[in-house]
A and B are shown apart, each in its own frame.
Chain A
Amino acid sequence: MKLSDYLITKTNTLRTTNIIDVKTESLSVKTYTFKDKQCAKAKPGQFLMLWIPGIDEIPLSILNTTTEKGIISVAVKNVGNATQHLHNMNPGATIGIRGPFGNSFTQNHGNILLIGGGTGTVPLIFLAKNLSNKTKKITFITGAKTKNELLFMDQLSNVCQEKNNLIATTNDGTYGLQCLVTEPLATLLNQEKFDAIYTCGPEVMVKKIFELTQKHKLPLEASLERLMRCGMGLCGSCVIGKYRVCRDGTVFNEEQLNEIKEELGTSKLNFSGNKIPI
């Protein structure tokens, strides 16, 4: 592709659109649906930059697409200034969109395992839905601090066909198993042979999962989060090792994770570019 082709690419051009629907998923998470033709073509694992006019522009994973209708949704956890503003917005409000950005999960078949924590379940649901009628079996481990923070349980149980293929964990035992997601994972890895394993969520969790799968010499694809500004691999805000998470990721395989294991789950750049502990 010639440079001039990139420069007029619609991906990176800001488009405005109106919120069509807002749905409350939990005390802190809401799902937003809107029209955007470009992002409606996104693949699982890709993200977009959402502009809240006059406030901020933030990276969000794509949860769902209806490609023919050009409709997509994202799920947003209220954690600070930008997400609070977004949570106050109603259908009809105008937002800006750039994207989709980043690579995507490799869509493998066979016996599939997905492990999601917090809003990290978002891209995995998109992936699982894409895989559900192509694969033999999907097992999903989802974790949260407490019952009412577990996300998208109904959608997950649909995707997992069989009830016991959906494993939920909570820190306080208010639902499912009282433990971290890594416990049932360790058990499963000893019992079953998986063809592909995918994860997204808090990086300390991702790191533990990486160590476990390495021990079993299994492949892994993990989607990582870093501070993002330009979204197109230029500003350097999201680098981990030699990789730009926004452009070379957000999905990294076990070989790449091995190259960045010193920083994985340990440190990240803050807004000034200083490496701080995670």
Chain B
Amino acid sequence: MGSSTLSLQIAGLSLDYPGMLASGVLGYSAESMFRVIEGGAGAVVTKSVSLQPRCGYANPTVVQVKSGLINAMGLPNPGIQVYAEEIRRSKTLIRQPLIVSIFGYSAEEYAVVAGKAVAAGADALELNVSCPHVKQTGSEIGQNAALLFEVVKTVKATVKVPVFVKLSPNVTDIVHLASTAVDAGADALTAVNTLRAIAINVETTRPILNNIKGGLSGPAMKNVALRCVYDIREKLANIPIVGCGGISSWQDAVEFFLAGASAVQIGTAIAFDSPKVFQTINQGIETYLKKKHLRSVNEIVGLSHH
């Protein structure tokens, strides 16, 4: 049971704790997502799922750099037909909100996957319009206002559950795209996906990732993600924001709340710590709130905008 200090409502979902599992991390199976819930997460976001299965790229798919990782997994997933069964199994195991991340190559495809995910039991959807390393989907949609509008609008017309739109930081004006998503009907925004990046090995003179380029995550990107949340909150005061990018301590999480996020997502920190990283962060936030004589996380959301 969540303490009332840490529990919150976001886009109609009730979370016992403010941290969610970020998409693409351990999200294949019901059991591993359940383990993250046991570790103190308030909700889980699944792996990004598409209409057809994808094998992803050959290794190396993840490379460690200073203070972060660069990954180009290539959106491996078994396709919604097969994954629907995992969603059903997850719903029997997990009581907390299950947010299914989806992607497609057209607005229609997003809508088909959305419909199937909701039919299988998804409590909410997160539209991956921000993966930086797969062609014709992800950030190629999220960086194009017209396409983004069409995708969000089509999905919203298909399903009744809350729709989160996960934004790309690899844009000139994130606020413009955020407001496009909101105009198209987004119920919440997740900010942000990974930063487009490359790692090169000096001995072999080769890029290390098989896909050459990938997305930077972890502490290295934290202050960029934080700035994205701050910018969005400044211009769009009413849309709930889920902060994501490089969070690994309670201080990081609190910074995101202060910038304007109502909840946070954590991915990379799980690799360097464990699924219990959520518990540690929860305790830290709780102590901080007590010290400040505050009763809920909600009271610090956006507080840095003086």
Interface residues in chain A, defined as those with a beta carbon under 8 Å from any beta carbon in chain B: 3-4, 6-8, 12-14, 16, 49, 51, 53-58, 94, 96, 98, 229-237, 239, 241-242, 244, 269-275
Residues of A within 8 Å of B270, CB to CB, are 233-234
Residues of A within 8 Å of B64, CB to CB, are 7, 12-14, 98
Residues of B within 8 Å of A244, CB to CB, are 26, 32
Shortest CB distance B54–A (Å): 6
Residues of B within 8 Å of A98, CB to CB, are 64
Residues of B within 8 Å of A239, CB to CB, are 26, 28-29, 31-32
Known A234-B268, A236-B25: A272·B54 in contact at CB below 8 Å: yes
Shortest CB distance A111–B (Å): 35
Interface residues in chain B, defined as those with a beta carbon under 8 Å from any beta carbon in chain A: 24-29, 31-32, 34-35, 47, 53-56, 58-64, 66-69, 71, 73, 76-79, 82, 201, 203-204, 206, 208, 210, 218-219, 248-249, 267-274
Known A56-B59, A236-B25: A3·B208 in contact at CB below 8 Å: no
CB < 8 Å: which of B32, B58, B201, B274 contacts A56? B58
Q: Is the CB of B201 within 8 A of A272?
A: no
What are 5 of the A-B contact pairs (CB < 8 Å)?
Answer: A51-B59, A53-B204, A239-B28, A274-B79, A275-B78
Q: Is the CB of B68 within 8 A of A236?
A: no
Q: Is the CB of A7 within 8 A of B68?
A: yes
Interface contact tally, CB-CB below 8 A: 131
Q: Is the CB of A7 within 8 A of B67?
A: yes
**A49–B6 CA distance with the chains assembled, in angstroms:** 40
Q: Is the CB of A229 within 8 A of B59?
A: yes
Given A7-B67, A14-B63, A236-B28, 12 other A-B contacts at CB below 8 A? Answer: A13-B64, A56-B60, A57-B210, A94-B203, A96-B204, A96-B208, A229-B61, A229-B73, A234-B271, A237-B76, A270-B55, A271-B56
**A270–B208 CA distance with the chains assembled, in angstroms:** 23
**A6–B74 CA distance with the chains assembled, in angstroms:** 25
**A55–B208 CA distance with the chains assembled, in angstroms:** 10
**A6–B248 CA distance with the chains assembled, in angstroms:** 11
Q: Is the CB of A94 within 8 A of B62?
A: no
**A57–B208 CA distance with the chains assembled, in angstroms:** 10
Known A229-B61, A236-B27, A272-B53: A7·B66 in contact at CB below 8 Å: yes
Residues of A within 8 Å of B26, CB to CB, are 233-236, 239, 244
**A229–B35 CA distance with the chains assembled, in angstroms:** 20
**A252–B59 CA distance with the chains assembled, in angstroms:** 25
**A3–B35 CA distance with the chains assembled, in angstroms:** 20
Q: Is the CB of A3 within 8 A of B201?
A: no
**A234–B63 CA distance with the chains assembled, in angstroms:** 12
CB < 8 Å: which of A16, A242, A271, A273 contacts B34? A242
Nearest A residue to B85 via CB reads A275
**A270–B54 CA distance with the chains assembled, in angstroms:** 10
CB < 8 Å: which of A51, A96, A234 contacts B25? A234
CB < 8 Å: which of A56, A58, A229 contacts B62? A229
Residues of A within 8 Å of B82, CB to CB, are 274
Residues of A within 8 Å of B47, CB to CB, are 236, 273
Q: Is the CB of A273 within 8 A of B219?
A: no
CB < 8 Å: which of B32, B61, B78, B273 contacts A230? B61
Nearest A residue to B65 via CB reads A13
Q: Is the CB of A235 within 8 A of B53?
A: no
**A3–B267 CA distance with the chains assembled, in angstroms:** 13
**A200–B264 CA distance with the chains assembled, in angstroms:** 41
Nearest B residue to A271 via CB reads B55
Q: Is the CB of A235 within 8 A of B55?
A: no
**A237–B190 CA distance with the chains assembled, in angstroms:** 24
CB < 8 Å: which of A13, A232, A236 contacts B32? A236
- Interface-centre pick from A14, A16, A229 (highest chain B CB count, 10 A): A229
